[in-house]
Structure 1
Amino acid sequence: MMSQNETYVLNPDYHFKGDKDRIVMYSKKQVSSFSSSDWVSFIHPTQAQILNVFAVKRTFGEQCKLLALKYGISEGQISEMLAPYIENKNVVHTIFKENKIYFPQNVLIAWHNVEELFKEDTNNIVQVNCNDVNLKQDRMHIAPQSILLMLTNKCVTKCKYCYADKNTKYTPMSTDEVLHLIDDAKRLKMSYIDVIGGEVFCRKDWDIIIKKIVDNGLMPNFISTKMPIAEETIKRLKDTGYNNVVQISLDSLDEQVLSTLIDCKVGYVNKMKQTIINLEAYGFKVQFDTILTKLTANRKSLDQLFLFISKVTNLEYWEIRIPEVSIYTPETYKEIKANKDQLLDCIDYINETLRPKAQFKLFCSDNCLEEHLGEGKDIDKHFYGGKCIMLKQLAFVLPDGKVSACEQLYWHPQFIIGDLKKQSIEEIWNSPKAWELYNLSQGVFRKESVCSHCKIFDFCNLENHRRCFVKVIKAYGKDKWDYPDPRCQYAPKVTSDLLY
C-alpha cells in the first residue's frame, strides 16, 4: 500500500530523450540489480513529463498534489494512475492508439533504496509536440541508441572459423575523428559504445579511445581478446577507467590443437594463463568464450577447460558456442567443422554433467544445429531463430569510418549506409540508403530473386522484418544478397555449408 508520506523518485537508472515525435525511455547495460538492463522503449511525451516530476525529491502526497493541479484531475486519480509504476517487479504497459507502451521494472522507487545514487535532474525532458506523436515500435528516428565501433581488423591469430572481414584494406579514422564520434554519441544520449576488433589492442591509440568512451558515460559492455596481454597493457586498460568484463576467447588448453585452429605461437597457453592471472590482480571480471570444432568438441577438451575455468576467481561466465559457416573463411571453416553427432554428444555432456556441477554461469549456444530451412510459412511473423534487428537501434562503425547496416556484413557495398569522414551519424542514420534497407521495396530486388514477385513481400519485409541478410549470404553467396531468407518456404535449396 502506498503511503502519501513515503518519498518515491524516478529510478536513477532510467533516462529520457527526445526522438523527433516521441520520447525514448532508456537505461545502460550496467544498472542496479532492481532495474531493467539495456532498456529502450518509446513513450508518450505526457507520460515522460509526469514521471519526470519524480526526478525531484518530494513525498508522494506532494507529487500527487502538483500533478493534480497541472492536469486538472483529483489527487486520488493521480495516485491510482501512478500505482502500476511504483516498485513494479515486472514490465508494465499501457495502450495508446493501438500501440503498446512498455515500461521497465521499478520505474518509481523508494528514495531510501537509491539515496546514494539519486541526483535531482529537472532538465531530463526534451519537449515534443504532443499533437504529432508516433509510438510505432520501429527504428530510432534521430540517431542510433548505441554504436558498435570496430577499432581495427588486425589480429594476431588466424582463426579457421573467423567470421570477420580481415582482408579489406582501408585508411583508418584518425584519433580525432573517433573522439568526435564519441562526443556525438554523448550529445545524442546513446546508451553505450562497444568496441571490437580484430584485436582491440592492435590499434595504437586504443587506450585514448576507451578512456574517452568511459569519460563520456558510454562504458563498453565487454572487451574481447584472443591475444596474450602484457601486464603493462592491463595497467593501461585499468587507467582508462574501464571496469567492465574482459572476455577471453579460449578454445582449448592443448597448444597443438590451438596451433592448427588459430595459428598461435609456442608458449601461447602459458601466456594466456598469465594474462588471466594479471586481469584478476587488477580487479577485472573475466568471461570465457569457447568455439566447438572437430578438434575441440570432445569430453576430454571440455573437462580440461572446465577444471581450469573453475579456478578463476573473478569469473563472470563461460559460453560454449557452435560456429556457423563464415562468409569470409568458408574453406578453412570446412576443414575444422565438427559433425553433428560429435556436437550433440558435447551438448549432452555440458547439460547433464558439467552444468550441474558448475559453480558459475555456463551457457551453450547451439541454435545453429536446428536450422529450419525452407519451413517458414506465410503466416509466421518470424522464422525459427528470431528476426532481424538491423538498423533499429545499433550502428556498426567500421575502422575507416564507413557505417554498415549489419555487424557481420562489414564492407559489403550493398549494406554501407554512409561515411563518418563525410557525414554526421544523424545524417547517416537517416540516409536514403538506411531507409531503403529498412523499408525494403520489391523494386530493389533483381528478377532472379523470387522476392521480386512474392505475394507476401510487404508482410515479410515491412511489417515483420523476417529476413536475415547474413543467413541469405551464407546460404547463396555475397552476390545473391537479395535472395530469400533460406528459412522461407519459397527459398531455393541451400547447397552451402550452412547446415550441420
Structure 2
Amino acid sequence: MELSEQDSENFDWKTFDLSRITERFRLKNAYGSQADKLELETRRFLYLSAKFKNEKLAPSEAVDAYWHELILNTEVYSRFCQNCFGLFVDHVTDVPTAASAAFEFHQASYYKTIELYKREFEGAPDIECWPTDESRLESRVERYRRPFRVHIETTNHCNLRCEHCYPESSIENPHHPRQLIDRAIAEAKKMDVNKITLTGGEILTRPDWKEIFSNALDVCDNVYFITNGLLLTKKKLEWLTRQKALRSLRNWRRSLLNNQPVEIGVAISLDGLAGNELVRKSSVGGGIPASKIIERISLAVRYGLHVTVNTTITNALSARELPEMYKIIAGLGIDRWQIDQAYLAGRLSKSPLSRVPLSWLEEAKPSYKYIVENYLKNYPKIPPWRLEIVQVFRYDNLFYGFSPARSLTEHPCSYHFGSMIVEQGDWIRFCPSLRDEAIGSISQSGSVEAVYETPKFKDFLSKSILNLPCKDCRYGALFHGGCRANSLAYAGSIWDADPICCSLSPFVEDEIVPLLPDSLRKEFFASLRSGLRPGQLTSLPGRKSRMPVFSINAERPLSNGKGS
C-alpha cells in the first residue's frame, strides 16, 4: 500500500540523525567527497522505496554506496526505517546472473526510480548522484580525471636484479628523462593531488633524486618512495628528515588548517628471511641477505620517516618464514607491514620460482592465520602499526568495516579510482600491477585529460563485475571480483577469474573471519551473496586454458555465519 501524502508529512525521514554514518562514509568511501549530498539522496530513495513498496526500484552506485554504509549499522538503520516509515526497507543485492538479464532488470528499476523521483520531488535528481546510462561512463572517466594520488616511476635503472621485478629493472637500464618526470609532477600539481609516490627501478640510483623529491614536495605535503633499501644511507636520511622539518615550518599554517602535516614516507622491500635471497638478487645473481634490509628498515625508523615494509610472497620458503618475520617486524617500530602475493609478470614469468605457479599459496595460508591471530590476540588493543595482507586482512576493517561492491554493476577496480600511474617517463597505466598495454603517453596525447579520452580506456571503464565469472560467486561483491592483474597474469585474460582470490576467499571465511571481532564477523556474512564458492562454480570462462593451480578445492561445507 502506498503512503499517503498526509502520512508522509508526519515522518521524520528528512531529519533523523545520520551524522555518524555520514562522517564514517566521508572518511572511508570513494564517494566520500559527496557524503552530505548522498545522505540526502539516500533518504529520498528510501522514502520512495517505502512509499512505493510494490515497485521494483534501484539506487545509483553512489546512493547504494551510502545505503550500504547505513545498513551495516543495523541498529541505526532499523530505527531509521521503523521510526520514519513503519517498515523495514530491505537491501536486495541479488540480481539475475546472466549479464544481459541483470542489466535489463537494473535499467528498468533504475529508470522507474528516476521517474518517481521527478514526480515526488518535482524535479530531476542530481546527475552526479543519479547518472543515466549515457552519463555513467562519463562519470567514471570524470572521477579518474581528478586523482588524489599519483604514482610516478622515476627510473628503470636499479642496483639489483630481482626475480619478481615486473618492469625487469637492472643496472643496464637507463633512467627516464628528467623532463618527463618534471612533466608528470607538473600534471600532478594541476590536478591538486594530495599524495605522490616515487618509485623505480631504484630512485636512489638517480644522481638528481634530491631535485625530484624537492619538486614533488613543492606540489604536495605527502611524498612516499619505494626502495630496496640498500642505498638508504644516513646521509640520505638526514637530507630527507631536514626537508620534512623545513617544509613543516614553512607550511605550518596550511598543515594546521587542513590537518595534514608534511609527511615523507618510505616503503622498503623485504621478501622473506632466508627466502629473501631467492628473490632479491644482485646484478651478478647473488642473493641479498635479509639482515642487510632489516638494518636499513631500523635506520629509517630512527630518522622518523613513515616506514612501510613491503613483502611479496613468491616461494614456499618465504611463505613459511612469515611467522618469524612477524616476530622481527613487530619489534622494529615500523608504521605498516603489507604482504602481497606475486603476480606472474616481468622477470618472474621467466624465473625458476614460477615453474609451478602459486604452489606456495597453501604454505602461506597458515602463516597468514598465525599473523592475524597474533595481531588481534589482545584486541581491542592492537600493535601500534598497520597490518595489510592483500585479499586477507586490512587494518582499516577494524575501524571502518568491510567495503564490498555496492552492486554487481560496479566496476571491479572501482576501489582503485583516484590513482594515476605514470611509468616509462610519461606513459599512463590504470594500475602498476596490471601489465597490459599502457593507456597512452602524456607527451604524445598533449595532456592527461586527452589520455583518458582514448576508446580503449573508456571500454575498460565500461565493464562491471557482471563481466566476470565472479557474478555467480558467494564472494563476488565482497572481494570485488578479485584482481584484474592476477587474472591477466595467471589466466591470460583481464576478465577471467582471479585464482588467488578464488583460493583465498574461502580461506578468509573459514580461518580468518572467526578471529575477528563479533561486529566484523556479522558484517562479513551480511556482505556475502547467495551464490556458490569458487570451486563449486560450474561455468568459469577459460577453464581449459588454465594452469593446474586453478583447480580450487571447495570441499568444506558453507558456513552458516553463526559465531564463526
TM-score range, shorter-chain basis?
A: 0.5 to 0.7
Q: Which of 403, 406, 425 is the aligned partner of 2:428?
A: 403
Distance 1:291-1:33 versus aligned 2 partners, 3 A rule = same
Tell me how far 1:483 sits from its aligned partner: 6.2
Distance 1:419-1:169 versus aligned 2 partners, 3 A rule = farther
Distance 1:472-1:196 versus aligned 2 partners, 3 A rule = same
Match of 1:389 in 2: 414
Match of 1:224 in 2: 226
Q: Which of 319, 323, 327 is the aligned partner of 2:342?
A: 323
Q: Deviations over 1:332-381 (max 9, x none)?
A: 23258554442233233323446527734463626389xxxxxxxxxx82
Cα separation, 1, equivalents of 2:445 and 2:171: 20
Q: Tell me the percent identity.
A: 16
Distance 1:40-1:267 versus aligned 2 partners, 3 A rule = same
1:474 aligns with 2:489: yes
Contact 2:159–2:202, Cα closer than 8 Å, also in 1:
yes
Contact 2:196–2:220, Cα closer than 8 Å, also in 1:
no
* 1:296 match: secondary structure: helix
Match of 1:159 in 2: 162
Cα separation, 2, equivalents of 1:397 and 1:309: 31
Distance 1:409-1:309 versus aligned 2 partners, 3 A rule = closer
Distance 1:185-1:348 versus aligned 2 partners, 3 A rule = closer
Cα separation, 1, equivalents of 2:306 and 2:220: 19
Tell me how far 1:325 sits from its aligned partner: 3.5
Contact 1:251–1:296, Cα closer than 8 Å, also in 2:
yes
Name structure 1 gaps, 5 residues minimum: 1-24, 26-31, 49-81, 86-90, 106-129, 370-379, 442-450, 457-464
Q: Which of 375, 391, 395 is the aligned partner of 1:367?
A: 391
Distance 1:176-1:310 versus aligned 2 partners, 3 A rule = same
Contact 1:157–1:263, Cα closer than 8 Å, also in 2:
yes
Which range moved further: 141-150 or 360-369?
A: 360-369
1 or 2, which has the higher strand percentage? 1
Q: Which of 344, 355, 359 is the aligned partner of 2:365?
A: 344
Contact 1:318–1:363, Cα closer than 8 Å, also in 2:
yes
Which range moved further: 325-334 or 222-231?
A: 325-334
1:312 aligns with 2:332: yes
Match of 1:263 in 2: 281
Distance 1:160-1:428 versus aligned 2 partners, 3 A rule = same
Cα separation, 1, equivalents of 2:446 and 2:496: 32
Contact 1:472–1:483, Cα closer than 8 Å, also in 2:
yes
Tell me how far 1:424 sits from its aligned partner: 0.9
- TM-score with structure 2 setting the length: 0.52
Map 1:416-455 to 2 at 5 A.
416-420=439-443, 422-439=445-462
Cα separation, 2, equivalents of 1:207 and 1:33: 38
Cα separation, 2, equivalents of 1:352 and 1:391: 28
* 2:241 match: secondary structure: helix
Tell me how far 1:141 sits from its aligned partner: 1.8
Number of residues of Structure 1 aligned to a counterpart in Structure 2: 364
Map 1:41-120 to 2 at 5 A.
41=32, 43=34, 99=60, 100=62
1:496 aligns with 2:547: yes
Letter in 2 for 1:491: P
Tell me how far 1:305 sits from its aligned partner: 2.5
1:180 aligns with 2:198: no
1:147 aligns with 2:150: yes
Distance 1:388-1:191 versus aligned 2 partners, 3 A rule = same
Match of 2:214 in 1: 211
* 2:317 match: secondary structure: coil
Cα separation, 2, equivalents of 1:165 and 1:368: 28
Contact 1:160–1:262, Cα closer than 8 Å, also in 2:
yes
Distance 1:305-1:416 versus aligned 2 partners, 3 A rule = same
Distance 1:195-1:38 versus aligned 2 partners, 3 A rule = farther
Distance 1:41-1:349 versus aligned 2 partners, 3 A rule = closer
Q: Deviations over 1:281-331 (max 9, x none)?
A: 321132222334212222xx3454334323323x21323334343465224
Cα separation, 2, equivalents of 1:359 and 1:390: 26
Letter in 1 for 2:348: T
Cα separation, 1, equivalents of 2:547 and 2:384: 37
Cα separation, 2, equivalents of 1:491 and 1:394: 29
User: RMSD value over aligned CA atoms?
Assistant: 4.8
Contact 1:152–1:197, Cα closer than 8 Å, also in 2:
yes
Contact 1:291–1:322, Cα closer than 8 Å, also in 2:
yes
Match of 1:276 in 2: 297
Tell me how far 1:398 sits from its aligned partner: 0.9
Match of 1:68 in 2: none
Tell me how far 1:427 sits from its aligned partner: 1.4
Tell me how far 1:396 sits from its aligned partner: 1.6
Cα separation, 2, equivalents of 1:226 and 1:155: 9
Distance 1:469-1:224 versus aligned 2 partners, 3 A rule = same
Cα separation, 1, equivalents of 2:322 and 2:487: 32
Distance 1:361-1:284 versus aligned 2 partners, 3 A rule = closer
Q: Deviations over 1:372-409 (max 9, x none)?
A: xxxxxxxx8279xx922398433221123111233223
Tell me how far 1:240 sits from its aligned partner: 4.0
Distance 1:422-1:390 versus aligned 2 partners, 3 A rule = farther
* 1:141 match: secondary structure: helix
Q: Deviations over 1:428-478 (max 9, x none)?
A: 12233322332369xxxxxxxxx8xx9x9xxxxxxxx9696424422343x
Cα separation, 2, equivalents of 1:266 and 1:334: 17
Name structure 2 gaps, 5 residues minimum: 1-21, 49-57, 70-123, 245-261, 394-406, 472-479, 500-536, 553-564
- TM-score with structure 1 setting the length: 0.58
Distance 1:306-1:172 versus aligned 2 partners, 3 A rule = closer
* 2:196 match: secondary structure: strand
Letter in 1 for 2:391: N
Distance 1:351-1:307 versus aligned 2 partners, 3 A rule = closer
Cα separation, 2, equivalents of 1:267 and 1:470: 27
Cα separation, 1, equivalents of 2:390 and 2:32: 30
Contact 1:144–1:392, Cα closer than 8 Å, also in 2:
no
Contact 1:173–1:401, Cα closer than 8 Å, also in 2:
no
Contact 1:404–1:418, Cα closer than 8 Å, also in 2:
no
Contact 1:172–1:399, Cα closer than 8 Å, also in 2:
no
